Amino acid sequence: MKMLERFFHDIKKYWNYAVYASKSELKGEIANSHLGWMWWFLDPLLFMLVYTFIAQVIFRKSEQYFPIYVFIGLQCWNFFSKTVKGSVKIVRANKGIIAKVYLPKVILIITKIMINGFKMFVSFLVVVIMMVIYRVPVDWHLLFLVPLFIGLVVLTFGISTILMHFGVYVEDLANIVAVVLQLCFYMTGIFYSIEKRVPAPYNMVLLRGNPIAYLVYEIRNSILYEITPDMLICVLWIVAGILLCILGINLVYKSENNYVKSI
Amino acid sequence: MEERKEHTEQAVDYAIEIEDLKIRYKTLNKMSIRKSLTSFRKAKRETFEAVKGISFKVEMGQIVGLVGRNGSGKSTTLRAIAGIFSPDEGKIDLHGHTVSLLSIGVGFNKKLSGRENIFLSGLLLGFTEKQIKEKEEEIIAFSELEKFIDKPVSTYSSGMHSKLAFSITAVLESEIMLIDEVLSVGDAKFKKKSYKKMKSLIGGHNRTVVIVSHNMNTIESLCDTVIWLHDGQIKMQGPTKDVLEKYNEFMS
């Protein structure tokens, strides 16, 4: 409990820094490219075209509103995987900072989540535009996005903090995480429907057992198909996510002292 | 007599109190998955104690020099006071004073302009946006960067880079300043200027300073007292002149 108190105190104290650091990182990213911020839209749009092509032309499988379907999945997945992948090496990447000044290491993750969260938010503007073009009807089901995205953020934060800790000590963890993430990508149903394409009992196992697959599935249901999500599973995953966060925060605060000595 | 002694002890305000400070480094605790698969015995963890139980107090407004050979634990002590890592044993009490390790270019993002980096670095050092804004012009003026301040830091020469970095940490002052051998940056003119600035910063009353340096002239001209560290322990502590005399004898 004391760790959590410290965590919230640190968040308050370093909030301004985290916001400013995220802004600078985003600004820096676009400063040197010709198309600048356009890439935040172009990147997911182009990947959407790639996966739509693969699914529709090569595998001849499709869903209703397929391009938007792929786009939403891709955005949620990118947020999760980029944050997790970045966290493994985040301490070493910020060596210049943490060797010279005390910074709670969880702030590094928070900054990362802000950056990737902002990109996800921006690209959802494209979803809105696409939905107008495809004339997708929407209703109050959009409200379910609030708990679903809370689940996504909490899980991402929890997993990232734990991986940040082990990433300091295990040098080749990044390679393994990259492979596992690739596997998860295919098991999350970004460009196909797990529910319809995976044979029966496994599809439900996968949808309920893989939190990202579940969240992506329900986010699509809420936005595109006006289907009410299974809130019990959502709540369960949020609780699991919070437990992971507590575990990760404790782990990091207990040993962050030694990080700078180990890198 | 007894009573008077007690009175004077109370009147002294300590800025830093260090009690039996011990700091250990664990070597060999990095592993790779291949190594842990191929060798069944656990990697041996060697502990190396860099600071072996030192205690000292620094009065408010005092300027203390830390001297000693390479590897005697000076920088480790300094980093512990700055809070970069906390002690393995013992206590460090700063009585709530703000502290900063004067270090060059913390948290710079090279793709951004110098002006933006002033804010980034300042926020990281624990200042509020308002405080930085108040000092912004002073920092820019001191750094002599003029119109370059709005150009990306990646376009700076290394001298300009250090000038900006020094100006940020020197102008944004905290109550306790820790200086680790950084007094020489930039060209000769800027070096002189920054040395002067350091001196005036240090001279301001109520500023407590701890300096690590191998330059005996720096220590001699700036410090009130000197602590001589040897192999992680305090070998001698006292007025600058006395300690340096013994230290120079020892080193020669």
The interaxial angle of helices A145-169 and A231-262, nearest 10 deg, is: 30
Choose the mutation target among B112, B130, B153, B169 for the interface with A, i.e. most A CBs under 10 Å.
B112
CB-based contact A251:A167 (threshold 8 Å): no
**Which of A100-114, A199-213, B173-187 shows the lowest per-residue confidence on average (mean pLDDT)?**
B173-187
Tens of pLDDT, residue by residue over B158-188, are: 788 888 888 887 788 778 888 876 556 667 7
Average pLDDT, chain A: 90
A5-47, pLDDT tens digit by residue?
999 999 999 999 999 999 988 988 887 777 778 888 888 888 8
Residues of A with CB under 8 A from a CB of B: 16-17, 20-21, 24-25, 27-29, 31-32, 96-103, 169-173, 176, 257-258, 260-262
**In contact, B211 and B68? CB cutoff 8 Å:** no
Query: Domain B2-97+213-251 adopts which CATH fold?
Result: Rossmann fold (3.40.50)
Comparison of pLDDT for B47 and B118, the residue scoring more: B118
User: Does B84 reach chain A within 8 Å, measured CB to CB?
Assistant: yes
List, in order, residues 6 or more apart from A50 with CB less than 8 Å away. none
Model confidence at A100, pLDDT cuts 50, 70, 90, reads: confident
User: Model confidence at B204, in pLDDT bands (50, 70, 90)?
Assistant: low
User: What average pLDDT does chain B have?
Assistant: 81
Tokens 């000197």, located at residue: B226
- Domain extent listing, chain B: 2-97+213-251
Instruction: Tell me the helices (H) and strands (E) count for chain A, helix number first.
Output: 12, 0
DSSP A213: H
Query: Dihedral sign, CA of A161, A166, A168, A171?
Result: negative
- Kindly report the nearest CA distance between residue B119 and chain A, in angstroms: 8
Q: What is the ipTM of this complex?
A: 0.77
Residue B3's pLDDT is: 46
Q: What whole-number distance in Å separates Cα of residue A25 and Cα of residue B151?
A: 16
Helix (H) or strand (E) holding B38: helix B33-38
Residue A75: both structure tokens together = 């955005």
| Mean pLDDT lowest among A221-225, A232-236, A258-262, B14-18 | A258-262
Looking at residue A208, its pLDDT comes to 87
Interface test with A, best of B32, B118, B124 (most A CBs within 10 A): B124
Average pLDDT estimate for B15-35 = 76
Nearest to A260 among B84, B116, B120 (CB): B84
Q: Which positions in chain A touch B103 (Cβ < 8 Å)?
A: 100-101
Mean pLDDT over A244-251 rounds to 95
pLDDT digit string, tens, across residues B70-87: 888 888 898 888 888 888
Question: Predicted confidence band at B5 (pLDDT cuts at 50, 70, 90)?
Answer: very low
Which of B221, B175, B235, B164 lies closest to B201 in space, CA to CA? B175
Token pair 């997993």 in the structure block, residue: A159
Contact yes or no for B101 and A100 at CB 8 A: yes
Is the minimum CB–CB distance between B48 and chain A shorter than 8 Å? no
Phi and psi based region of residue B107 (left: phi greater than 0; alpha: psi -120 to 50; beta: remaining): left
At B15, give phi and psi (nearest 5°).
-95, -35
A84 or A138, higher pLDDT = A84
The CB-based long-range contact list for A235-240 (8 Å cut-off, 24+ gap) reads A235/A147, A237/A151, A237/A155, A237/A211, A238/A147, A238/A150, A238/A151, A238/A154, A240/A155, A240/A211
The chain A residue lying nearest B107, using CA atoms, is: A97
Tokens standing for B159?
Answer: 């001298």
Please tell me the predicted confidence (pLDDT) of residue A108. Answer: 95
Helix axes A211-220, A202-209, angle to 10 degrees: 100
Q: Give the amino acid at B84.
A: I
